[in-house]
Amino acid sequence: MINCYKWPISVCTWSLKNNVSELNLIKEKTGVCCVHLDLKPIVENSDNEYINLFQKDSWKITSTMVGFPQEDYSTLETIKKTGGIMLNENWEENKKSVLKAIDLTKKLGAEYLSFHFGFLDFSNQSYMNEFKDKVKLLADYAGENGITILMESGQETASELSGFLTEMNHKALGVNFDPANMILYGKGKPLEAIEVLIPWVKHVHIKDAIGSPVAGQWGKEVVWGSGQVESDKFLGKLKDLNYNGALAIERECGQNRMIDIENTITKLKATSNNSKN
């Protein structure tokens, strides 16, 4: 297993459109054998062969992931309206998807399932009550099956998310911390946010970004180490906070994603090696 410090290096399968052949090339070139596995092909289409390919090629799963068909990431406003589990017209379908994903995660021997839960709207108490009920239902089922479901960071400030998790006080709830999302959504600085959320952080994305100069608009994802995450300081902060999970490389834009991922693996390995000198 290839590590950065003590953390296994993983790759988000959807960064390469779940192309197992391309992921195998990365494994051959770099030695990285872990993935953050997108379950969408099997949850939505019952594509059992997809899972079989990852198992046949001996990939280790640091976490699974599931998304929802109605989600629209065109703008911050559209994802606020469509993201996650809250839309009542999609709830039954989305609930079924999450429960199936929990079952699959257990079957695959993984511990974590991540997804975008949706936006926290503390100004609307009835909305929040419904949100909590839905989250509790999913978390209860996850806990009964030995799985922790992970909220994706970035859609709210770290203090808002930590307040919600503190109030929920559920052992089957955690965080997949994405430092770039804090910047992309304009919700705070990753170095400060990770300190607040570390009690719940089970899995971390390696992704970088530059914030938008215009409030209410998406920031821009960039190659790891070239944005505002302050990559070396961020890894140092994880070390100081005694983070014990995996680092999953996520690259959702760019024309040369395989090269970007390979270069990020090289950077992570170099960071770890340099600290030993």
Rounded to whole angstroms, what are the CA distances from 147 to 2, 140, 171, 175? 24, 10, 10, 13
SS3 assignment, position 213: coil
pLDDT value of residue 277: 47
pLDDT value of residue 275: 61
Instruction: Extract the residue ranges of the chain whose pLDDT is less than 70.
Output: 274-277
> What is the topology classification, in CATH, of domain 3-276?
TIM Barrel (3.20.20)
Instruction: Give first-to-last CA distance, the chain, whole Å.
Output: 21
Alpha-helix residue ranges (DSSP H) falling in 31-87 = 40-45, 48-56, 76-82
Neighbouring-strand partners of residue 36: 12, 63
Where do the domains of the chain lie?
3-276
pLDDT value of residue 46: 80
pLDDT value of residue 170: 99
Residue 155 burial (CB count, 10 A): 23
| Long-range contacts, stretch 69-78, CB < 8 angstroms, 24+ apart | 69/44, 69/93, 70/94, 71/116, 75/217, 75/218, 76/185, 76/186, 76/216, 76/217, 76/218, 77/216
Contact 66, 97 (CB under 8 A): yes
| Long-range contacts, stretch 215-221, CB < 8 angstroms, 24+ apart | 215/186, 216/76, 216/77, 216/186, 217/75, 217/76, 218/75, 218/76, 218/184, 219/180, 219/183, 219/184, 219/185, 219/186, 220/184, 221/180, 221/184, 221/251, 221/252, 221/253, 221/254
CA dihedral (119, 124, 129, 132) in degrees, to 10, reads: 20
SS3 per-residue string spanning 144-205: HCCCEEEEECCCCCHHHHHHHHHHHCCCCEEEEECHHHHHHCCCCCHHHHHHHHHHHEEEEE
Inter-helix orientation angle 190-197/231-240, to 10°? 20
pLDDT value of residue 271: 87
pLDDT single digits (tens) 94-131: 999 999 999 999 999 999 999 999 999 999 999 999 99
Neighbouring-strand partners of residue 238: none
